[in-house]
């Protein structure tokens, strides 16, 4: 029986992926590196611990990795965070899940203060049991740490009685490693083929689409009916 839903945040409940990618692109240029926007965007969903090594050597990260990460964080909060919007019907979907007797926890690679802002933007602060951020995990997605931490906040809920909702293959890989099944959203920019290939058991366009199909969806049927 499905008892809980674990939500990713960036690209799943808030439209922030392009903004994160652009903030990283600008920060990289500040430190003398130029990369195509689309290459950076493909890495969004990972935390900086997993993203930065894709673009910089160990020697470079030893010299300025921490400074770069801090610069990017400040830049994002100042110039990009005010432009983040929630996807349609996020609050309404969360309310439907709550009305159905299920718990909700957020599991994000974002910093804790960014996560607080996202909860306000999406108007969901009163509808969640708990949340985990990058502060709660040693390694970000695609490692399972954040989802494992989220599951630990749900007392008495076994992995088979919870499901993840996310938008990237990194979410799906992390969910698999945590013995969780995942429903994929297309609103983060990945294709259905990519998400299914990463292990998603069902695909919806976004929160609005899942809400419209809730009664016949995997959430409505329950965890035991999720396809393997």
pLDDT of residue 171: 97
pLDDT of residue 226: 55
Percent of the chain with pLDDT over 70: 96
Q: Would you call 127 exposed, middle or buried from its count of C-beta atoms within 10 A (0-12, 13-18, 19+)?
A: middle
Q: Is the pLDDT of residue 224 over 50?
A: no
Q: Is the pLDDT of residue 197 over 60?
A: yes
Residue 194 pLDDT level (bands cut at 50, 70, 90): very high
Percent of the chain with pLDDT over 90: 89
Say if domain 4-15+85-225 classifies as CATH 3.40.190.10: no
Nearest-5° angle of CA 58, CA 64, CA 69? 100
pLDDT of residue 109: 81
Q: Is the pLDDT of residue 227 over 70?
A: no
Residue 19 pLDDT level (bands cut at 50, 70, 90): very high
Q: What is the mean pLDDT of the chain?
A: 94
| Least confident piece of the model among 7-11, 39-43, 133-137 | 133-137
State the average pLDDT over residues 56-81: 97
pLDDT digits (tens, 9 = 90+) for 132-160: 988 888 899 999 999 999 999 998 899 99
pLDDT of residue 223: 43
Residue that wins the pLDDT comparison between 221 and 93:
93
pLDDT of residue 77: 96
Pairing state between β 85-86 and 14-15 = antiparallel
pLDDT of residue 169: 98
Q: What is the pTM of this model?
A: 0.94
pLDDT of residue 80: 98
Q: Is the pLDDT of residue 199 over 60?
A: yes
């Amino acid at each position: 029986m499905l008892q809980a839903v674990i939500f990713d945040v960036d690209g799943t409940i808030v439209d922030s992926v392009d903004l994160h990618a652009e903030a990283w692109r600008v920060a990289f240029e500040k430190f003398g590196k130029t990369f195509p926007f689309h290459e950076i965007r493909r890495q969004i969903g990972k935390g900086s611990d997993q993203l930065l090594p894709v673009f910089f050597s160990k020697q470079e990260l030893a010299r300025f990795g921490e400074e770069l990460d801090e610069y990017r964080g400040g830049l994002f909060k100042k110039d990009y965070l005010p432009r983040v919007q929630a996807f349609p019907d996020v609050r309404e979907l969360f309310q439907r899940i709550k009305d159905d007797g299920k718990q909700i926890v957020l599991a994000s690679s974002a910093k804790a203060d960014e996560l607080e802002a996202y909860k306000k933007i999406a108007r969901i602060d009163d509808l969640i049991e708990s949340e985990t951020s990058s502060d709660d995990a040693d390694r970000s997605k695609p490692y399972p740490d954040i989802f494992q931490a989220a599951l630990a906040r749900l007392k008495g809920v076994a992995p088979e009685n919870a499901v993840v909702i996310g938008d990237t293959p990194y979410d799906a890989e992390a969910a698999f490693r945590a013995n969780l099944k995942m429903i994929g959203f297309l609103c983060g920019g990945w294709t259905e083929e990519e998400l299914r290939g990463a292990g998603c058991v069902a695909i919806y366009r976004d929160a609005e689409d899942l809400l419209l199909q809730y009664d016949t969806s995997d959430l409505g049927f329950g965890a035991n009916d999720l396809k393997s």
